[in-house]
Every structure is written in structure tokens, then in C-alpha cells.
Structure 1
Amino acid sequence: MKSHVKALVVGGGAVGTSIAYHLARAGWDDVMLLERDELTSGSTWHAAGLLPYFNMSYATTHIHDHSIKLYKTLEDETGLNAGFYVVGNLRMAQTDARMDEYRLYAATAETVGVPFEWMTPAQIAERWPLVRTEDLKGALYHPTDGYINPADVTMALARGARQRGVEIERRWQVDGYAWKGDHWDVTVTKMAEKGGNLVPSDETTVIHAEHVVTATGNHAQRTAKLLGIKIPAIPVEHQYIVTEPDPALVDYRKTHGEHPVLRDADAKWYVREERGGWILGPYERNAPARFEYGVPDSFRADLFPLALDRIEEEYMSFIHRIPSSEQVGLKDDYNGPICYTPDGNPLLGPAPGLRNMWLAEGFSFGITAAGGAGHYLAQLMVEGEAAIDMASLDPRRYGGDWMTTEYAARKNEEAYEHVYILHHPDEERPACRPLRTAPAYDRQRALGAQFGCVNGWERPNYYGPLDAPDSFDHDARSFRRGGWWQHVVDEAKAIREGVGLIDATTFAKHRVFGPGAAAFLDWFTCNRLPKVGRINLTYALTAHGTVRTEYTIVRLAEDDFYLVSAGAWEAYDGDHLRKAEEDWFATQGGGPDGWFGVENVTTKWGVFAIAGPKARAVLSDIVKDADAATVLSNARLPWLSAREIELGMCPVRAIRVAYTGELGWELHHPIEMQNYLWDLLMKAGEAHGLKLVGARAQNWLRQEKSYRAFGNELGRDATPLEAGLDRFVDLSKDFYGKAAMEKTGIRSACVTLRIDGPADADPWGREALYLPDGTRVGRLTSGGYSVAFGQSIGMGYVRPDLAAEGTALKVRIMGDLWDATVTCDSPYDPKNATIRADG
């Protein structure tokens, strides 16, 4: 066994072997894979092998698409049949809401180029007469996917890896990781079989690896402990049963091809053929998490006791949908661990706080994702970035000290249960909430706040009726304009016409300070740094020149900076800042005149955003100053400036900026004084008609101003120049990623569109864009409704030649194409007259 390697992959399931294969395919010729038992001995061996395209995530859809295409080529390359049966995938719908879900998903599929067909109940019955259809509304059919033998595809990937020089070693367990500054020392122990169990032998060695990838599946909690980090990947029990041959199916197959994989999402199961019978896989309620604190040494390729009473409802619905199955006995059954994460998407990318350590954990659909996960992770490792923005899968999206094992276990159980529950784009899942609450939470809840969850924080999405039960938000959800829509319209109008108050406490906040802070930030971000008392919007770039993150930088002093970024990305941004700090000192040196520190101050500061034409009037009633009449004027607190002021007894860092595009301020305040400030603002606002406003209205309003949002328009697949942010890029200076950004050029362009959409629906930001002749030319990244223009609005990317104002396009909303027109940047108040208004 080698003692020095370029990359060490830990874990020999489908995901691990795919990563090893793709690293070798990408040109790394010194790769090793370790497996503590045998290849496929984890969840891979008992997986049902389904390959569903369906996913609401743009990145995950790309990953699934790559897998499905790759698996069809493996036999030609390796000589091993991967056992891929291209039978198609039929997703049936019992309700109109389910059909709307499919229409929204289909819009995402179109942006990736995934083929699909719509089918009526009559067409289903004609083609597959064993399926009962009278209570169906229709179905979405993917003709190019199906199912695969998990062991076969894993072995094919392993052979492909070996053919490219990868060394695969079985029966070696990792027992320790130690970072040595430029490589990892990985302590491994030879495993021996004793009494049917695997036990450590006396044979140990150390492998020196420049990079390590963990793909340890059910053993993720052990991996987390060895690395000293948190990995919210914990298995949940998943049962499926195999029936005896169904005579009706056997007879049908004499003259017909195999059924597609059948999914009755409203009944919460999938079914496929298996040797003349059926495999039924339900996603029931109350499936428990397992191995929260590690997998017992005695558990190998084992299963749990069955709990068939838990899936009785799903079994009966299977009989209803395929009546011939009622007389068929059970042949086999499985109840095994399948790893999940709190949102159901894998953790794929850099490990938080660690160098050259990569995670590939939490794959609930590991067979489907393995091929694409290996492909895109190899791009990240070898090239520095993937061809698609991987932030939505980044392990650092779950970070910080607040994350616990209990939270991960309960949220993973919820994610499992929600596999077939309607995936409303406005859904907010209830498990483990509320957990992180700002002090004003109870006051907001009493006033009708309907909360969303951002990085564990509760944040008002909108304010519903005061007499509504707690279930109002659930009842209000829809794929179209839900019950919340009119409330959000009213909130957006209040900002445009009067004054509104938004709780923005969830913003991530970091302080960078010290004599070397300015030099570091000048290199770290692409815009010029602000002067003391001023602010600038700027971007940290990737090595490829794309947008790594967005910051609002407030310069408090010559060597003291306050950085504000998106709340959902606190750990992501903090980890990048700290690693960039290390890189700076490693390349530039430090010394007494060059040191600086990075401090996460997110939980020290609350934030209220007050905005609207009457915002100054509200604050003027409570500001304390020797010349209170002018403290909020443009002369003393102009647009894009910051000032320490006093509101009543509360010291406030007032930042003259508004994400809504109206006259406004962000009021950053000591978190312990939040309730005092809330009450003060509410009382002062009474005379001016102040209205409470949530995040959804703010999202609509920022689109009227063409303000890009990180995770939507801004990400690691577009440069700031492609995003149309030239004014925030200072090309006269050197900064990280500059050369790569200039070399990339303009591959696509960010535009704002006014949309003549349906009367009952708006785009969500996942829809495909077309020319009037039907040619697909781009996609939306944001969507909503404009109160200023009385129509739908959206932002997205198109070919550069189509970015001119007035270009006529089409956008797919709820299955139909609707007219869309490229408008100017900042269609509402393009000259920024309102936001600059003086007092």
C-alpha cells in the first residue's frame, strides 16, 4: 500500500468510487481509495437503485443528469455492465397541486435540458393497464432514466478507477487525521474478521495525503469526531419490500416492455418491477434516525428489524394503485440506513475550517447522485471551481456552534418524511423550531409574523392576520399566489408609499480590524474600499473570477471594518474569510504593522431596516442629538454612509442603505437592546402609519431595483461583470481573481424582466427563458411580483446579445409560455432619486 498520495478517498460505496474515478479521469495520477470493509458494504448494497431526475435544485439536477448519462457509458469503458435499465420514470399526481409541483419542477428541468413528457390518465391507462388511473390528474414522465444495480455500477466505477491508476485497498479503517501544513497524515488500521465482526488488528500505518475526501456514508458521525467538526449527516431507516411474482404482471410482460419506475407521490411511494413482482418503497412518517453518535462495530452489511405497521397506509395505497398486487405475497423485505441531511441535499465540498479536506456525505439518493457528485467534486478539487455553482450543496451551509446532533437527527427524519410531501417553493418545515430567535421574536409573533428559517434563525417572511391560527402559513402555501400573497402586496406598497420596518437580524456580520486590515481587504475584494464613515458594496471572488460572496463593507476607522453579508451564509463566509486571512499571511507576511483579526459578531448585533418616504420622519421623532433636525439629513448622513447615532436610550450604527430601493436606514444595534428599540420604533411609527414588513416583500422590492442576491443572481458560476456589476469592480487595482475574471469575459448577462404572466401566479426564479420562436436562451434566477408596475417581475441570465432593453422573450410559468421584456437596470427609480432623498 502506498504511503504518499495526491488524494485519499475514504469510503468504498458508489459515491467514493465515483470520486476516485473522476479524480483520476481529471488527471490526478496518484489517488488511493480506502474501504473499512468491502466495496458496497454500506448503504449501497441495499439501495433500490433508482435514478430519479426529479429535483427542485438546479445544481442537484445537473448532478443527477450527469450520473444518468455517465452510467450509460461505463460498460464501453470498463467492460462491466452497470446494470442500467432505462425503463423511464412516471410520476403520477392525484391533485391539481401536485401537477403544479410538477410544472414548477419541469421549468427547472428545462433549464438543464432534461427530457420529459406530460401524460393524461387516459394515456397512462392505455399504455400500462395494470395501473388504476381514474383518480389521477395526470403524470410527468421521464423517458431516459430508470433503475440500476447499485453493486454493479459501483464495481464498474471501481474498475474504471483502477484502469486509470487508482489503488483501492479494502479492510483498512481510518483512525486519525492530522494536518501537517501541506498534507494530511492519515492513521489507518488493518481490519480483521472475528466472529462475524470486523475488529482492528495490530497493523497500523500512516498515509501522507495532500487531499482527503470522506465519503463515509453511515459513518459520517465518526468522521466528524475524528476531524473535530460537525457533519449533520445521520441515517434514517428506509424500508422497502419485494413481492412474489404477480401473475397479471407476468402475463402483461409476455407482450409488453417493462413498466417504468412508478411514483405515486401523493401516496408517498415508488414501485418498480423485480423478477415478475414488485418492489415497493414507501417514505412514511415516523421513520427514526439511527446511529446519531456512530455506527456500532458489530453493524456491517446488516439491516434493522422490520416495522411493517409503520408502512401499512402506503402498502394499502399500493394495492389501490395496482389492484393485481392484492393477491401477491411478500418475498423479501429490507429495512436499512439511508443517510440524510436537514434539507435532503448532500454535503459536497470543502470541510469547514480545514484545508484540503473534502466532504461527500449525506447522500439520501446516493446512487442517483454518485456519478455527478464525483464529476463536479473533482472539478472543485482539480480546477478550483465546478462548472456549476455548488454553494447550495456546500457543507458550510450548515455551520456554527449552534448545530447539534439532536437538531440534525430530528431534521433528517423530517427530510425523509418530506420526500413525497408537496415541495412548495414557499414551504417552511416545522421540525426543531423555533430554535434561534432574536429578542423581538415574541413581539413579532404576537403581531402576526409568519416566520421563515434562515441558518437556524427565525425571520419574519410576512405578517398574516392577527386572529389566524398557527397553521395559517401552512394553509397559505401554494405553487401559485398563496394566501400570503395579498399580505405581501400590502407590505411592499407600504414601503413604496409610506414606511415599513423589517427585521434583518439574520444578516451575517464580521469585523476585520488591525493595521493590516485595509491591505488585506483591498486584495480580498474587487471594489475600492470606502473612506471612514462610508460604505461600499463589494465582492470576494473565486480563483476563477466568479462571485464567491457579497459584502457590504462599513469602514468604522482607518483600520476597522464591519462586513455584512447574507444571513444564510454565515459559516460559509466566515470560513472563507479565515482561510483567506491565512493565505494572506502565508504570502504577504505579517509583522507588527501588518497584523489583523477576523471576528464573527453576528450574534452581537441586531438589525432593523426602516424604509419608505416617511422613514426619516419616524426616526426624527426619536433621534437624540444636539441638532436632531439635521442628524438624518444628507449633509450629515448621506446615502452610502454610516454614523453612530442614539435612538432614545439605544446606541445605533445607522447605515444609509436600503435593500428595498427606498429612502431608508439599516439600524444595527446591540442585540440585548433589541426589544427596547423595537418598542420605541413601533410607538414612533404609529403617527406615520408604519407597517411591519417581511422578507418576501423585500425580495420583490429588490428586484424592482435590479439588486442582485447571493445564491440567486450571484454565485460561483458568474463573474461580477457577467452579473452587470461593473460599477462595483475597480479594475485599477489588483485583487484576488481579477485576471481570471477578465479572461473569462462575458458568457451570459444578468437582466431584469417585466413579465405579463398569468393572473394567479408569478415566477419563482427557476423558470426557463425562450425566444419567441421557442429557442431556449436562459433562465430566471429570481421571480416575484412588482407593486410598482402591477405585473410579475424576474431576474435571470440570457445570452449577452439578448440583454438589451426591450428584447422580447418568453418565460415558462405553470406550464405555459408568457411574454417577458428585458427592462432597464433598476426599472423602479433608475436615477435613485427616492433613495437619495434629503430631509
Structure 2
Amino acid sequence: MPTLPSKARVVIIGGGIVGCSVAYHLTKLGWKDVVLLERKQLTSGTTWHAAGLIAQLRATANMTKLAKYSQELYGNLEEETGVATGFKRVGSITAALTGERLEELHRSAAMARAFGVEVEEISPSEIKQRYEHLNIEGVTGGVYLPLDGQGDPANIALALAKGARQRGATVQERVKVTDIVKNGRRVTSVNWQGEDGTSGEIETDMIVNCAGMWGHDVGRMAGVNVPLHACEHFYIVSEPITGLTQLPVLRVPDECAYYKEDAGKLMLGAFEPRAKPWGMEGISESFEFDQLQEDFDHFEPILEKAVNRMPMLGEAGIHTFFNGPESFTPDNAYHLGLAPNMDNVWVAAGFNSIGIQSAGGAGMALAAWMDTGAKPFDLGDVDISRMQPFQGNKHYLFERSKEALGLLYADHFPFRQKDTARGIRRTPFHDKLLANGAVMGELAGWERANWFANEGQKAEYEYTWQRQNWFENRAAEHAAIRENIGMYDMSSFGKLRVEGPDAERFLNNVCGANMSVPTGKIVYTQFLNAKGGIEADVTVTRLSETAYLVVTPAATRLADETWLRRNLGSNIAVITDVTAGEGVLAVMGPNARALLQAVSPNDFSNEANPFGTAQEIELGMGLARAHRVSYVGELGWEIYVSTDMASHAFETLHAAGQPLGLKLCGMHTMDSCRIEKAFRHFGHDITSEDNVVDAGLSFAVDLSKPDFIGKAAVAARKESGPKARMVQFLLQDSQPLLYHNEPILRDGEIVGYLSSGGYGHTLGAAVGLGYVPCEGQSATEVLASSYEIDIKGTRVKATASLKPMYDPKSENVRA
């Protein structure tokens, strides 16, 4: 009979490696009254059958930091707990079979150097030296990470659980959470039932959903959206192979395969391009260490290639054919953090086959966040608040999961779009854009025109690491905005209406800039945290004495709304998501004024409608609101029109624009224009970790206001001077392309990496933004150095500037 307390500070639901890691790290921070409940036996869901590959390099600096932490933790756990973790640093090799894959690997190797991960680019013959059993026919090269490892997943989890118990946590197996009791935005208790028929209730200050592939259902119980879906994951283990000794982990992503030596046997695992979703009818109550039905036909194409690639596998015979479920999320990043619509429900679930290498770091980061109430560093990649409400739809998850598993080993081409679960959110202009050659991308479920195909051109992406098939299309769109007039659809951007008697006071506390402005004024501002870091990058338009419109990036709409709600306090104000209520067309370029004057009797002159103001207008035979702002660095307006009149607005503007040479433009063009102007992109150039002063955005903060969130930190940084500066780089060679994460070299030494990169069609070469550490240094000293950018191992000279290289005085936007 389980002995469980009636009260706890936290109840962790799920005893896989992630739940055990959260318990371990909370107790390490001194938390008492930590209770972990596991429905069956620890590790019995997914952890027990994981492959145990422990790699360091991830797609971003902070995810890499967490993976490196996991390695260090697992290396020391055995000594701390006495439980053998089987952790060994065996190294890893990734082999490419195409030139495109090799470029991806070489770019990732450059990124690894920027992140402080030891890496080596190796030739096919050097791969053969390190992995003699491999058939290197068709291999174009690869990378070697000497400090990557492998371990025993179940024992690592049990070691974490033991560490948590040693510091006072209650870890209880064979107890299922049957209900979660809520009061408003808070969970108050959980009801449990033991396998022996006993039951009870635990009052709790908070819960953590670490339920893995049950995470979606546990989330529903708590009133929280946790989008994930289980898929079948296949591997085989060979019979013992005579003389087989320790080998590096080997990945051959072009054949969807990975190989691991373990105790004289060889494991072959697969991430096939089209996966098999599992558990659509729910997961059996009795599920515990279960294997799924074999499907040799599904696995056979990968095995066939593997036997050719690793001849010894064909001779050894198969000892085990294994099929087990793992959970996948819509964007292949795990879910971590405080659930957006609850104040004490935390999530750590959906680890997309990288749970073992991620669990140590994820547990550490979440525990720190729970302990202080603030993220320890930027976790935007995995923050659960990035997930849109509709993404909890089971049919959507079923369709997207087919693709999600295979994307792990697919070519990670820049601008690659998802193929599955598309067409869900469409702007009012969707069909009209398609009729004009739009090629759609997807962001947060929104279908957005990324570029426009010419007549007779195939209206789809052809992916490569070189200049893609739309490069010249974007160049023409870019030129239209710079030299004449372009129009693009911004309807997907979030629109939050904040209104009430305390709206001004509330926004003045949350925003760095001053919100005490006249009606019609548009203010560019940031939501700051207590450290002066940037939680959101928005524009705020005062609509009336008591109402404001906050415009946010499409991807962070929910996160930004959540930040507002969490900081509302006792202020009397209502926050409403009105994103779908208005379509938005951006009309940008030197001739933007001429077009608007052709369709509206209103006055668009500098005197009547200066930069940073909005006005109600007549447009065609309808009504709209014209905001004079620009994210592309040109004269222009964002035209907000209610969805019922959106089609009329588009037709009116498009028809009137034809004699003027109006060109429809896509999101790729918006991005290439903004990077030339050194406008920051939230999530890349500016994050919760980046002080607004270092980001070069202190002009958007009014320190003369009464106290507001982050004021003291901004004042202190202004006093001390920036610790780093955001620098714009222009390559001196017009051919190479920049994406992001390329290392920045200052006087020959790596000092950082590009936070974003793109091609500057007006400037004539690729442009990047990135932070250069400069504590105690003047701007002149920063610019006195010589700079290079490492592109797949080749150093390319770059010109550095602290001011925008395009229109540094912003004369165009104010024209």
C-alpha cells in the first residue's frame, strides 16, 4: 500500500527519465515535499527502450548548453548514487552521402565551434579509419564529435530517481493520477489511485506534467494544451559479432539510419521519412514495458540499405526486432515551462527521440525556472507557450506526427517547410495571393506567402544550401520595395486589444517605452523582464483614451498575451486576442503614398500622418485604419481592415497599383529588407536573455517614467555600458550565403555567432547580425577590429557596423 503525503510542494506526474530529472534537480535546489507519481514502474513508457545516444550539439546555443550539461551530469551520477549509468564517451560520426548533406554537416561543425563543442570535419577515408566496418562507397565526408557518448537510459533514470530520494523526495510507483482539481488558473490537488485499490488526494502548490506520450491526456486533465503524439520507432539488435569492440555512434542520415555498438552487438535504428503514428484510440491501461507489433515491411527498405552500408550486419543475423512508441511534437522541439493558461502547471514532455540526451539539461533548466519564477536563460525554442491552441487537435497531431519523426534525419535545408497538416489558418487574402503566384510557407499554423512565382515558373520550393529557386524572385520583390512599391500580407501577426480604465497604467508597467501618448500614436517597444531582457518586441497603437492595440510576431502571440496576463496584477483592463478580426496589408516603398492617395481621400502627408501615427481612412468603398510604420526601412503603411472588407481592400489596392508597377511580395522579402536595415528579429537577435541596452534598443526605453518592469536593470546597464553590442556584418564577397549561427571571428578569434543572416540585395552581399562581447570597450574599439565570418570552415572577411548599413539616418521611412 503506497504511503503518500496529503500535502506536497510539487507533484511530478510521470517516472520516465524526464520526471526523474525534474525531481532530482528540484531536490538539489533544496526543495522538500517533492512527490513523483508513476502509473506503473519507473522508465516503463519510453525511457526503457531508448537507444541512449547522448550527443552534445543541438540547433541553438542554449539547447547545446543543456545537452552538454546532460553529459556532464550523467558522467558523475554513478559516483553520487552508486547506480551504474553505462555512460561512456565513445564519440560520434555523422556520414554524408551527398554534397548537400556534407554542406549541412560542415555548417553544423562551424556552429559547434561557436558553441564551444569539439568537432572535426573528416574525409571518407578518415571515417573508414575510425569505423572500419563501414562501406564508404558514396560517402562524401562527415564530422566527428569526440566527446559524444552513449549510456543506459533506464539506469540513468533510476540513478536520478535515487538521487532525488536521497535528498528527501517521495518517488512512488504503481500510482496513477486519476484527476487534477483546479480553481481558476491554479491546480489545488491531485487525486490518485494505487494498483492495490487504495486512493487518496494530495494538496499541492504545483504540478509538473512529465507524462511523456500520456502528456497530451494529462494536460487535458489539467486544462492545459500539450500537443504531442506517439509514433512507432523501430530498431534491430544483431546477434553477438565476434571481435566487435567499442565503436563511435554512427549516423547515416541519408539512409535514415543510426548504428550503436553495445556489448559486442550492433544496433541499427531508423528514422524513416514517413512514420507510423500510434495510440490513436488511447493507450492501454495495462501498458508497461510494452513492445508494439512488428512491421518488417515498414523497416525493410532501411535494413536493405543498412546491410549494404554495414556488411557485417547482413552476416550476423538479427537477435531482436524492436518496435516501441515515442512521442513527437508538431515542430520537433520538446515542451518545457509554465503552461500559458495556468499559473502553477509546468510541463516537460514530448522529447522527439532525444529525451535521454536532453533530460539532464531540461530538468536543470525547469527546476531553476520553478525555483526563481524566471527562466534561467532563453528557452524560447522549447517554451510550451509557443504552441497554438489548435495544435492540440488530435487529427492535426496524427497528420503532423507522420512527418515529425522523419524530419530528425531529413536534410535540414534553410527555409524548409512542413508538408503535413497544412492549410489550417488562412488570411483573408489567401486565395487572391495564390491566384497571383504565391508560394506558401507555414508559421504557427498560418499559411503565409513567402515568395511569388513568375508566370510559367514552378510555384514550389526547390531546396538547397545554395541560392534556392526563388532567390531572383525575392531580389525583384526586394527591389520593388526599395525603388518603387511592394505589398505583402501581414494578417498573421498577432493583434491583442488591451482596454479598460487602467490600460495606460498597466502598459506603462509592462512596456519599456512611454504609453502616455495621444490617440493615434504608434509606439515601438519591448516587454522587459526584471533583468532588462526582452520578453517581447511589439508595436503599441493607442486607439482611444482607454484602448490600445498591441501587435506581436505571429509565432509569439500566445506567449506575449500570456506575459500580459501574468503581469496584469490589480489593474482593471481586458486583454482580447483580435488577430483574426482584421486583415493587414503592408504597402511599402517610395511610391506607397501615391498608391494610397489613389484609393483614399484621406491625407497621407507628413503633416497629417507623420511616421509613427495611425488614422482611420476610407479605402475604396470601405473603411480601414492606416498605421504609418515599417519593418522594411521604407516609406510605408500597414493597412488594417476588418475581415469582411478585406477582399475589397485587396482588389482596390491591387488594381490601383498596376499602373504604378505595384509588386506583390512575400515574407522572405520582408526579412531581407529588415536585415539590411539591421532591424532585430525576436527569437533570434533579441531574446529574454539579451539586455535591451546590449541589443542597441535603449532608445525604445523611457527611464524617466515611474517604475516599470526592468527599469533598474536597464538603468544599471546604461550606467556600466553594454557587455556586448549588436553588430551588423556585410560580407566582402558577394557569393556566400548566411543563415544564422555562423561563427564571428574578431581579429582571428571566435567571439560569438550570428543571431540571424540573410542576403542584402541592395547592399550586394549577405548580411548578418550578431553580438560581440565588449565589456569596458567603446564603440570605436569594437569597430577598430577586423572581422570574419566562418562559413562551413571558410573564413570570409566582413565589414562591421553599429549603425544600419542601409539608410542609417532612417530618412526613407520619414520621407
Q: TM-score range by the shorter chain?
A: over 0.9
Q: Which amino acid aligns with 2:730?
A: I
SS in 2 for 1:687: coil
Post-superposition Cα deviations, 1:741-762, rounded to whole Å, max 9, x if no partner, equal 4456666434232332655432
* Residue 14 of structure 1, aligned match among 12, 17, 20: 17
Find out whether 1:334 has 2:329 as its counterpart.
Answer: no
C-alpha separation in 2, matches of 1:388 and 1:103: 27
Quote the offset at 1:91 in angstroms: 0.3
Counterpart Cα distance in 2 of 1:808 and 1:464: 40
Between the aligned partners of 2:584 and 2:451, the Cα distance in structure 1 is 17
State how far apart, in whole Å, the 1-side matches of 2:521 and 2:121 are: 55
Report the counterpart of residue 584 of structure 2 in structure 1: 607
Q: Which amino acid aligns with 2:508?
A: D
Matches within 5 A, 1:568-607: 568-581=555-568, 584-585=569-570, 595-607=572-584
Asked if 1:766 corresponds to 2:766, the answer is no
- Distance (Å, rounded) in 2 between the aligned partners of 1:453 and 1:182: 31
3-state SS of 1:72 partner: helix
The reply on whether 1:814 has 2:792 as its aligned counterpart is: yes
Q: Determine if contact 2:694/2:726 at 8 Å carries over to the other structure.
A: no
The one-letter code of the counterpart of 2:580 is T
Q: Distance in 1 between matches of 2:794 and 2:140?
A: 17
- Equivalent AA in structure 2 for residue 479 of structure 1: W
Q: Tell me if 1:698 matches 2:658.
A: no
Confirm or deny that 1:666 pairs with 2:655.
Answer: no
How far apart, in 2, do the equivalents of 1:50 and 1:402 lie?
29
Q: Which amino acid aligns with 1:824?
A: L
Match of 2:566, SS state, is helix
User: Is 1:209 the counterpart of 2:213 in the alignment?
Assistant: no
TM-score norm. by structure 1 comes to 0.93
Does residue 447 (structure 1) correspond to residue 436 (structure 2)? The answer is: yes
Q: How does 1:232-243 map to 2 (within 5 A)?
A: 232-243=227-238
How far residue 152 of structure 1 moved from its aligned partner, in angstroms, is: 1.0
Partner of residue 737 from structure 1, selected from 688, 697, 710 = 710
Residue-by-residue CA offset, 1:299-318 (whole Å, 9 max, x unaligned): 22211101111111110111
Q: 2:491, 2:771 → 1: CA distance?
A: 30
Deviations 1:568-596 (A, max 9, x none): 11221222222222xx11xxxx5xxxx22
Question: Would the aligned equivalents of 1:701 and 1:786 in 2 still touch at CA under 8 Å?
Answer: yes
Cα pair distance change 1:403/1:216, threshold 3 Å: closer
Shift of 1:806: 5.0
Stretch of structure 1 that moved more, 348-357 or 805-814: 805-814
> Aligned pair 1:500/2:503, yes or no?
no
Shift of residue 535 of structure 1? 0.7
In 1, the alpha carbon distance for the partners of 2:271 and 2:185 equals: 44
- Which residue pairs with 2:225 in the alignment? 230
Q: How many corresponding residue pairs?
A: 803
For 1:535, the aligned partner's letter is I
Deviations along 1:596-621, one digit per CA (max 9) or x if unpaired, are 21111000011111111111111111
Cα offset, 1:382, TM superposition: 1.4
Alpha-carbon distance in 2 for matches of 1:358, 1:11? 13
Partner residue in 2 for 1:3? 6
| SS of equivalent residue, structure 2 residue 654 | helix
Q: Give the aligned partner of residue 325 of structure 1.
A: 313
CA contact (8 A) 1:221 1:294 kept: no
Residue in 2 aligned with 1:356?
Answer: 344
Runs of 4 or more consecutive aligned structure 1 residues displaced over 6 Å after TM superposition = none
Map of 2:476 onto structure 1 = 490
For the aligned residues, what is the CA RMSD? Answer: 1.8
Cα contact 1:426–1:478 (8 A) shared by 2: no
Residue by residue, what CA displacement relative to the aligned partner does 1:258-309 show, whole Å, maximum 9, x if unpaired?
1111111100010111332211101124322122463221222211101111
- Amino acid in the other structure paired with 1:793: V
Question: Is the 1:399–1:572 contact (alpha carbons within 8 Å) kept by the matching residues of 2?
Answer: no
Q: 2:194 maps to which residue?
A: 191
- Residue 59 of structure 2 aligns to a residue whose secondary structure is coil
CA contact (8 A) 1:757 1:813 kept: no
The SS at the match of 1:187 is strand
Deviates more, 1:282-291 or 1:333-342: 282-291
1:802/1:159 Cα in 2 relative to 1: closer, same or farther (>3 Å)? farther
Q: Does 1:219 align with 2:214?
A: yes
631-640 or 6-15, larger mean C-alpha shift:
6-15
8 Å contact kept, 1:190–1:204: yes
User: Quick one: distance in 1 between partners of 2:445 and 2:658?
Assistant: 31
Query: Is the 1:608–1:668 contact (alpha carbons within 8 Å) kept by the matching residues of 2?
Result: yes
Q: Please tell me the residue identity of whatever aligns with 2:709.
A: Y
More displaced stretch, 285-294 vs 693-702: 285-294
Matches within 5 A, 1:250-265: 250-251=242-243, 253=245, 258-265=246-253
Q: Provide the secondary structure at the position in 1 that maps to 2:523.
A: strand
Give the alignment partner of residue 287 of structure 1, picking from 266, 271, 275: 275
CA positional deviation for 1:383: 2.4
Partner of 1:141 in structure 2? 144
User: 1:413-449: CA deviations, max 9, x gaps?
Assistant: 2110211110112100110112211122122112221
Aligned pairs for 1:43-192 (under 5 A) are 43-180=46-183, 184-192=187-195
Helix, strand or coil: the match of 1:273?
strand
- 1:716 equivalent in alignment to 2:688: yes
Q: Which residue of 2 aligns with 1:198?
A: none
The aligned amino acid for 2:484 is: G
Q: Does 1:790 align with 2:755?
A: no
Contiguous gaps of at least 5 residues in structure 2: none
CA contact (8 A) 1:806 1:822 kept: no
- CA-to-partner distance for each residue in 1:699-743, whole Å, 9 max, x for gaps? 121122221111111111112112111111111221123234445
2:411 aligned residue (422, 435, 460): 422
Structure 1 residues 238 and 402 mapped into 2: Cα distance closer, same or farther (>3 Å)? Answer: closer
> Which range moved further: 759-768 or 513-522?
759-768
Is contact 1:806-1:823 (8 Å) kept? no
Amino acid at match of 2:655: K
Partner SS, residue 130 of structure 1: coil
Q: Hey, what's the Cα distance between the residues in 2 that align with 1:668 and 1:143?
A: 54
- Supply the distance in 2 between the matched residues of 1:211 and 1:101 (Cα, whole angstroms): 42
Cα–Cα, structure 1 residues 642 and 574, in superposed 2: closer, same or farther, change >3 Å?
A: same
In the alignment, the residues of structure 1 paired with residue 778 and residue 240 of structure 2 have an alpha-carbon distance, to the nearest angstrom, of 57
Return 216-225 or 500-509, whichever deviates more.
Answer: 216-225
What letter matches 2:206 in structure 1?
Answer: H
Report the equivalent of 1:543. Answer: 530
User: Does residue 244 of the first structure (1) align with residue 244 of the second (2)?
Assistant: no
Partner residue of 1:409?
Answer: 398
Q: Which moved more, 1:780-789 or 1:493-502?
A: 780-789
- The 3-state SS of whatever aligns with 2:278 is coil
- Which residue matches 2:731? 756
Quick one: which amino acid aligns to residue 464 of structure 1?
Answer: A
Partner of 2:807, secondary structure, is: coil
Q: How far did 1:821 drift?
A: 2.7
